[in-house]
Structure 1
Amino acid sequence: MKRVPALDLGERPAVKSFADWGRRNEQLVRDPAMQLLARGVWAQSSEPLSPLQRAALLQQHLRTRDNHLRVTGLNALELLDLPIGETQSWVNPLLGHRAGERESEFETAKLTPHLSWHGTRVRTFAGQLRMTKSRGLSRYYGPWGCFVAHPVEALVVAAPYLSVWRLIACVDALLSRRIVVDEKVTLRDFTADVIEDALELFPPTSPSVRRVRAALRAAYDQVWSPSETLTRLIALRHGFPPPRTNYHVTPQGRHFYIDLAWPDSMTAIEYNGEVHYKKRSHYEDENYPIQLIRDSGWDVQVLVWRDLWEPERRRTWLNFLARNLGPPTRKF
């Protein structure tokens, strides 16, 4: 179980009403170091506030004893560093997935602060802002002292904007990580049973709930990156046996983990993501264990992002799996 910190929003800006700033609204509008947060409320920031920063500040500004506000949806998932993102056009057809109901609106939704309320509904003049009724699940302290929605609730709210594979990647991450909100707060382990129990609080016929439940059925634990999720889904789509994820091996008494492994045939796939080519130390540290694993009898194929999306390169590693694991059930 990996410990993963929540997103750092940087230094929190001061937030006051125009009266507390001791200046008229017209003066504040002309000041590039002041950002309008809601009607009559200004944040002191020389840079425009990001949607995440606005959501965190609005949550604190608007919350009362009666409304129990929290940051939710895509904003919450991003704050918790879950692998949300757009889906490139080739992915859904390759995996046989239907696009999400509002998948094309992902960027717009991500750029809009999104809060949920539990108790008294909030009425506000905060400009662009989405408000959703909460189911009352636990909330967590987040950056800048804001409250963040329960990850499962945030995932249900965000589900219409995410592709199937992104939903699966988010559930993979929940099953595989311990999210550290700050030095004192660590989110509990999210087992499949914990996630299912949380989903029981939502209407069972809700399309979003059904999509998250389907993602839970397809999710694995011990998955460290969304690219590992996508690689696994491509292999499964072509009929190869389910792999073991981050499989523990000990060549020459050293401890390593293989991203995707088929132990019966000593076949493995290692995915090298952005960190491997941006940091020389990661690149060097990765090559040494791969060679040790190969020397111990494993047949290892190393992939990068282009191997997933480019058809000819994708056929190369799928042929590698076919040679080692047997013929696939689907042509490629």
Structure 2
Amino acid sequence: MHRDLIDPGETTAVGPYEITTAVRTAFDLARWVPALREKVVAVDALAHACTIALEDVLRLRRRHSGARGAQHIVPVLRLADARAESPMETRIRMALHEHGVPAPRVQFEVEAGGRTRRFDLAYPSVRLAIEYDGRDHRGQERAHRDLLREAALVRLGWTILRFDAWTVYCHPARIAGTVAYELRRRGYVAA
């Protein structure tokens, strides 16, 4: 169990319970979660779900600069992105980061077939997209929609790389290698 000083304004009431605010919780997660990857996963998820501004977490870090683990806040916030819609998308992004692959755009939108489509991650300049396919993509109806969506995007010149949970958890280097290879093959130049 961690004990820490919590200033007034860093808690809120939920029913009969007093809990830390989302910003304070993000501050604590960025300090206490053991691995950088999982720190970023936690902060991304909280920032997305609670629509907190990451700048507010940084302000809290300045206010508590001497707090245990405060040195972890800035590296986490540099990698965090509140647009990430799932922890697995963040884990893919972190696998790329950990293996030196340039950062992709998060939740990139494309017009295709008269509709706005969105990729989990993308390198728009070379039309390379990355999608996490979770359990919800396995049902027949969803798989069919995914195929139609992908066909419309392929007609526009996009290549879509898909990764599942097993690959994300067990083979992050394979993800990074595949993406790096595709970027090199397309002549990608980081901005």
Output the TM-score relative to the length of structure 1: 0.49
Label 1:322 to 1:156 Cα distance change in 2 as closer, same or farther (>3 A).
closer
Comparing 162-171 and 294-303, the one that deviates more:
162-171
Q: For the residues of structure 1 that align with 2:136 and 2:17, how far apart are their CA atoms?
A: 30
Equivalences for residues 222-241 of structure 1 within 5 A: 222-241=83-102
Deviation per CA, 1:263-320: give whole Å up to 9, x if none: 111001100123333x554444333322322222101011101122444x853x4443
Amino acid aligned to 2:166: R
1:238-273: CA deviations, max 9, x gaps?
222210001011112211110110011100110012
Letter in 1 for 2:35: S
SS in 1 for 2:7: coil
Residue 290 to residue 138, structure 1, CA distance change in 2 (3 Å): same
2:117 alignment partner, one of 256, 260, 279:
256
Task: Report the equivalent of 2:182.
Answer: 324
Q: In the alignment, which residue of structure 2 is the partner of 1:150?
A: 21
Q: 1:304 corresponds to which residue?
A: 164
Please show how residues 76-225 of structure 1 align to structure 2 within 5 Å. Answer: 132-142=4-14, 144-158=15-29, 159-177=31-49, 179=50, 189-202=51-64, 204-225=65-86
Q: Post-superposition shift, 1:219?
A: 1.2
Q: Distance in 2 between matches of 1:285 and 1:211?
A: 41
In structure 1, the gaps of 5 or more residues are 1-108, 110-129, 180-188, 328-332
Shift, 1:168, TM fit: 0.8
8 Å CA contact 2:120, 2:132 repeated in 1: yes
Paired AA for residue 154 in structure 2: R
Range 147-156 or range 231-240, more displaced = 147-156
Distance change >3 Å, CA 140–CA 267, structure 1 → 2: same
Percent identity between the two aligned chains: 20
Does the aligned pair in 2 maintain the 1:221–1:245 contact within 8 Å?
no
- Partners of 1:263 and 1:151 lie apart in 2 by 32
Partner of 1:206: helix, strand, or coil? coil
Question: Is the contact made by 2:33 and 2:39 (CA closer than 8 Å) also made in structure 1?
Answer: no
The structure with the larger Rg is 1
Note if contact 1:156-1:208 (Cα within 8 Å) is conserved in structure 2. no
CA contact (8 A) 1:172 1:223 kept: yes
Contact 1:272 1:304 in 2 (8 A): yes
After superposition, the C-alpha distances for 1:202-253 in whole angstroms (9 at most, x for unaligned) are 1x13342221222111112310011111111111222222100010111122
CA–CA distance in structure 2, aligned partners of residues 319 and 157 of structure 1 = 33
When the two structures are superposed, what TM-score results if normalisation uses the length of structure 2? Answer: 0.81
Aligned pairs for 1:24-43 (under 5 A) are: none
Query: In structure 2, what is the Cα distance between the partners aligned to 1:225 and 1:266?
Result: 22
Alpha-carbon distance in structure 2 between the residues aligned to 1:163 and 1:247: 27
For 2:7 and 2:56, the matched residues in 1 are separated by 16
Residue 135 of structure 1 deviates from its aligned partner by 2.0
Structure 2, unpaired ranges of 5+: 186-191
Query: For 1:44-91, what per-residue CA distance to the aligned partner results, in whole angstroms no more than 9, with x for missing partners?
Result: xxxxxxxxxxxxxxxxxxxxxxxxxxxxxxxxxxxxxxxxxxxxxxxx
Residue number in structure 1 paired with 2:136: 275
Q: Is the 8 A contact 1:266 1:299 kept in 2?
A: yes
What is the aligned partner in structure 1 of residue 188 from structure 2? none
C-alpha separation between the residues in 1 aligned to 2:101 and 2:22? 31
